[in-house]
Every structure is written in C-alpha cells, then in structure tokens.
Amino acid sequence: MNLYTRALGYLARREYSRQELERKLSRHECTLAEIKNILDRLEQQKLLSDERAAEQILHTRSRKYGSRRIRYELQMKGITDHLIEAAMKDFEQTEFCCARALWYKKFGGVPSTPAERGKQIRYLAGKGFPSEVISRVLCDAREIEN
C-alpha cells in the first residue's frame, strides 16, 4: 500500500491535524520529504485541514471536558494557537452549561461537607474546567437549592 493511500485511509476514518498525520505516516518506511509532499498534496486537495480537525476535537470533547483540557489536547495534536483561539471562542460561552450538566449528572446535589465540596471541585478541575466556571457551578447550585 502506498503512502498516499494509507493517508487517505486514515483521513476517511476521522480528521487529523497535519502534525498528527505526519507522526502516523512516519512509522512507515519513507523519507520525511515524501511525507511532506503527500501532506502538501492533501492540503491542496482540501482533504487535510487543521481547522476541521480542531472543530471535530472540540465537538467530540465539549460534552465531557472543559476548555483547559481541550486546549491541551489541541496543542498536543499540533494545532496552531490562532486556530485554537478561534475554535475555543464559541465554546467558552457554553462551557458553564456543560460543566453544570456534568456536575449534576455525577453528583446531583450541593455538597453538604467541605470534604464533599473538595471532591466535587477536584472532579470538575480534573475534567479541565477553569476555577471560575467551577465556582459558578457550585454557587449556582447553592442558590437554586436555597
């Protein structure tokens, strides 16, 4: 199987960033120049796009993770900072709703002890939500309960 066909097979399954696809193709016996030529060809044909890869990652991760985690994943996949900022702009407006839904599904109620509150904070922080969003979720839940 030639390298171009292999790259098309990968892209048929899901979107890849240029760096991610380059890393995947480099496992096979070929030169870096060959890989770069194939990636350039795919970009010219609009089959490879970092913008689409960023949008797909954001779409699939936004229900379970916060902006910090998603931003980190995009950086690890080689998406440039200006593309990350463009993709994250809309998500940060809805991040509170995602965090609240995730919190409610996991805990369902306001923490009754400081230890339980710490557990809920650590859970949301582990999912990549910023501290401002976490405190808004917990304050909002406390206000609703009262």
Mean pLDDT on 76-86: 93
Mean pLDDT on 4-15: 94
Domain ranges of the chain: 1-48
Decide if pLDDT at 69 tops 60: yes
- pLDDT tens per residue, range 22-31: 999 998 878 8
CATH node for 1-48: 1.10.10.10
3-state secondary structure 98-146: HHHHHHHHHCCCCCCCHHHHHHHHHHHHHCCCCHHHHHHHHHHHHHHHC
Q: Give dist(CA 4, CA 34) in Å, integer.
A: 10
Mean pLDDT on 112-135: 95
- State pTM to two decimals: 0.85
Contact 124, 66 (CB under 8 A): yes
Other CB atoms within a 10 A radius of the CB of residue 67 amount to 21
Q: Give dist(CA 63, CA 112) in Å, integer.
A: 26
